[in-house]
């Protein structure tokens, strides 16, 4: 049988070297965590960016409003 470009053996070999090898997996874990944080942030920013800014604005405005409403205290 002719060698295929992508065979199950090659996939297993890559999986074994990248996941089961301690050194490579330590780097891959850091890489996945960082890239996941990057992509997840982009998704959150694009979908919920306006709401985040509104919540932050309200949180920073609350002390100013409460101090004006209660001058006696």
Partner 1 sequence: MAAAYGQVPPSTTTQMDANGEEKMKTKVDYFNLPCPIPYEEIQREAFMSLKPELFEGLRFDFTKGLNQKFALSHSVAMGPTELPSQSSETIKIPTAHYEFGANFIDPRLMLVGRVLTDGRLNARLKCDLTDKLTLKGNAQLTSEPDMSHGMATFDYKGSDYRAQFQVGNGALFGASYIQSVTPHLSLGGEVFWTGQHRKSGVGVASRYNTDKMVATAQVASTGIVALSFVQKVSEKVSLATDFIYNYLSKEVTSSVGYDYILRQCRLRGKIDSNGCTSAFLEERLNMGLNFILSAEVDHRKKDYKFGFGLTVGE
Count the residues of the shown chain that bind partner 1, applying the rule CB under 8 A.
19
Q: Does 30 bind partner 1 (CB under 8 A)?
A: yes
The candidate with the shortest Cα–Cα distance to 26, out of 18, 37, 34, 16, is 18
Binding mask 34-53 for partner 1 (x = CB under 8 A): xx-xx--xx--xx--xx-xx
Question: Applying CB under 8 A, which of residues 10, 12, 16, 33 lies at the interface with partner 1?
Answer: 33
- Rounded Cα distance between 19 and 41, Å, is 25
Q: What is the dihedral of CA 52, 53, 56, 60, to 10 degrees?
A: -170
CB of 43 to partner 1, least distance (A): 10
């Amino acid at each position: 049988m002719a060698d295929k470009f992508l065979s199950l053996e090659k996939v297993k070999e890559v999986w074994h070297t990248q996941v089961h090898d301690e050194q490579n997996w330590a780097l891959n874990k850091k890489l996945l965590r960082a890239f996941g944080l990057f992509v997840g942030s982009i998704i959150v920013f694009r979908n919920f960016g306006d709401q985040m800014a509104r919540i932050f604005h309200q949180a920073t405005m609350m002390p100013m409003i409460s101090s004006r409403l209660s001058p006696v205290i």
